[in-house]
Amino acid sequence: MNLKKITQAIALAAALFAHNAIAQRGGKLEEEDYLNGANTIAAFKKANDSASASTVKLLRKGKTFALGTAISADGYIATKATELADKNGVLPDLEKKAGEDSAVVVQVQTPAGEKLMGELIGYERTDDIAIIKIASGKLRPVR
């Protein structure tokens, strides 16, 4: 299932949840049913906890600049390729040149807070996806 379909499914679930909550109260939306209301948060807690356990932070100068999703326990992470572009929107050149170490590295913070260096393995411009590899067998892949 691709990201667009997942996003649409979540939006539909949220809309159905809100519709049912409003209908049960005679058409009035209560504060606990707002976007960040207690009922809404409780309804999505399990999904949020699962996603959070698979989400890593990509760091630049110690600050989060993007998020990634663990796609395997052995350290592969998917993220948006455009997040890795420079200030001019240019993505890194992954072509190895004779005598050069052309590895593109990025700092990654795991859900446990561990900071590791990862290597950009590759990216696909059309789908705006990039794969980063870290040396860790402790990631929990998204389900």
End-to-end CA distance of the chain: 11
pLDDT at 100: 55
pLDDT at 35: 67
3-state class of 133 per DSSP? strand
**Residue 90, token pair as written in the block:** 């240019």
In this predicted model, what pLDDT tens digit does every residue of 105-127 receive, in sequence order?
899 999 889 999 999 998 988 89
Residue 51's contacts (CB-CB under 8 Å, 6 or more residues apart) are 142
Q: Which pTM value belongs to this model?
A: 0.66
Distances (CA, A) of 82 to 3, 18, 112, 135: 16, 33, 26, 23
Q: H or E stretch including 48?
A: helix 38-52
Give the residue from 33, 120, 110 showing the smallest Cα distance to 64.
110
Backbone phi, then psi, for 27, in 5-degree steps? 95, 0
Task: Report the C-alpha gap between 19 and 115 in whole angstroms.
Answer: 42
pLDDT at 76: 93
One digit per residue, pLDDT tens: the chain, 143 residues? 566 667 767 777 777 776 676 666 666 666 776 667 787 777 777 777 777 888 999 998 889 999 999 999 889 999 999 998 888 888 877 765 555 555 688 999 998 899 999 999 989 888 999 999 998 777 888 87
pLDDT at 115: 93
Task: Report the C-alpha gap between 73 and 65 in whole angstroms.
Answer: 23
pLDDT at 53: 85
